[in-house]
Amino acid sequence: MSPAGCPHVNGFKVDNWRQNLRVIYQCFVWSGSVETRKRKAKSCICHLCGAHLNRLHSCLNCVFFGCFAKKHIHEHAKNKRHNLVSNWSLIRYRRGDRVVNSIDLLYGGIYCFLCQDYIYDKDMEQIAKEEQRKAWKLQGVGEKYSTWEPTKREMELLRHNPKRRKITSNCTIGLRGLINLGNTCFMNCIVQALTHTPLLRDFFLSDRHKCEMQSNSCLVCEMSQLFQEFYSGHRSPHIPFRLLHLVWTHARHLAGYEQQDAHEFLIAALDVLHRHCKGDDNGKKSNNPNNCNCIIDQIFTGGLQSDVTCQVCHGVSTTIDPFWDISLDLPGSSTPFWPLSPGGDGSTLNGESHLTGATTLTDCLRRFTRPEHLGSGAKIKCSGCHSYQESTKQLTMKKLPIVACFHLKRFEHSAKLRRKITTYVSFPLELDMTPFMASSKESRMNGQYQQSIDVFNNDNKYSLFAVVNHQGTLESGHYTTFIRQHKDQWFKCDDAIITKASIKDVLDSEGYLLFYHKQFLEYE
């Protein structure tokens, strides 16, 4: 079809075509009332094979329904010279003695056999949208998500400002340094990670925050402004003084110019953002363990399943708790890091190997999800035995977040010592969380689980997009961040200085906070 659109559709726009089109959408496409839905179910079948499915289309010239997949509508168009069909609706369109369009009865799309393509017409599209909204209202669904369309004022602005910024694979928009305001590298490194979180970026750049707080006190409003600054194209370092002030205001334990922990700042920032964007969920039902549909919980919240098993009756008590990050113990800490055999437990999972003797992220996750005997000093009251018994506890992932953040516990604070653990941990560019899911544990217990790699199952696969590192000691150190700008393009953010980095630089770094993004998302 030409860029100008279908040249045949104007032949349909005669007489009372708008009202006819509305009736067709009401009866055969959206079907808002119970009566019209019953009528559609009875009448909308292929007149040749009697099927309901197979991409049913209707002729726009006569009352004929035919399968698109089995080409029954094609046969009708060829034999009757009725060449305009529709997917799940009925439109009359004459071109002399020839009807050249049909309508898709499932989505309402119009197909032209002369153009051999689905066609778009602004007037018809407007009628389709209006009738769709009426049908939703009749069904009690309410207003569903609709794509953004510019207003008349926005169209005028676009016309008067024709210059556009082209995004290429080498584009550096979004890369911007941050001025250190006095030991604030802990804040700068987290800001860099958050501003390069894809879904968070999309949320703030689409202006979806509806503020319900007093002016100048909302951290979400400031983050929105920060995203605008980062993606404005300016190259000079940004001074985040307002962000620092709001952090001091809403997270007072982080106030002052002392060096703070980047992980502690991340959790505090997510908590304040979560509290300040409560009004953005539009009352939609949440589907995460935190029972909140704000953008923070949509992206970062997962569900951690804890199974406590009685050693006497083997009864299991299960709880599911929300989490924003997973803190992992490291070898070298005072917490026993149980040796993991590289032989029988899948040592090459996620592309990692024990050949070099290095501890891997997968090792840490295995350690995190292994059953732990609680001992005689931590007996729990078993609901089955009705008495206090020894038990084992095992953690697994019940629901994975879109962004998984792993905190490697490098700072050890105990009664005897305070130190930094510098053990090198190998982490992959791509991570498969399937072995650590609660569903995988249940499959293993039922003898059904196989650890073979399924290239078609991408539900639990993640890609690395940011790494926060700490250089120095517990008393004196500095935070930097590696961020992924495009596929396989990495940059090192060191306060105001941004430099290009290689994948080797990233994977060879020590690693303190690791940010992974789901590779595939389900549309909701």
211 in active site: no
Least Cα distance to 328 among 415, 403, 263, 417 occurs for 263
Contact in structure between 143 and 136 (CB atoms under 8 Å): yes
Q: Which residues of 351-367 are buried (b: 16+ CB within 10 A; e: fewer)?
A: ebebeeeebbbbbbbbb
Contact in structure between 81 and 71 (CB atoms under 8 Å): no
Q: Identify the burial level of 267 via C-beta atoms within 10 angstroms of its C-beta, where 0-12 means exposed, 13-18 middle and 19 or more buried.
A: middle
Contact in structure between 65 and 44 (CB atoms under 8 Å): yes
Residue the block writes with tokens 């089955």: 384
Contact in structure between 180 and 188 (CB atoms under 8 Å): yes
Q: Identify the burial level of 293 via C-beta atoms within 10 angstroms of its C-beta, where 0-12 means exposed, 13-18 middle and 19 or more buried.
A: middle
What is the enclosing helix (H) or strand (E) of 185?
helix 185-195
Phi-psi label, residue 182: left if phi above 0, alpha if psi -120 to 50, beta otherwise: left
- Give the pairing type, strands 326-328 and 403-408: parallel
Rounded Cα distance between 281 and 303, Å, is 20
Rounded Cα distance between 172 and 401, Å, is 28
Q: Name residues whose C-beta falls within 8 Å of residue 515's C-beta, 6 or more positions apart in sequence.
A: 193, 197, 403, 404, 405, 464, 465, 466, 467, 468
**Which amino acid, 101?**
N
Contact in structure between 359 and 423 (CB atoms under 8 Å): yes
Q: What is the DSSP letter of 178?
A: B
| Cβ count near 218 (within 10 Å) | 21
Least Cα distance to 100 among 16, 12, 24, 22 occurs for 12
∠ CA 220-222-223 to the nearest 5 degrees? Answer: 65
**Which amino acid, 141?**
V
112 in active site: no
Q: Of residues 27, 46, 67, 185, which has the active-site annotation?
A: 185
Least Cα distance to 98 among 117, 84, 118, 119 occurs for 84
Beta bridge partners of 399: 303
Q: Which residues are catalytic?
A: 185, 478
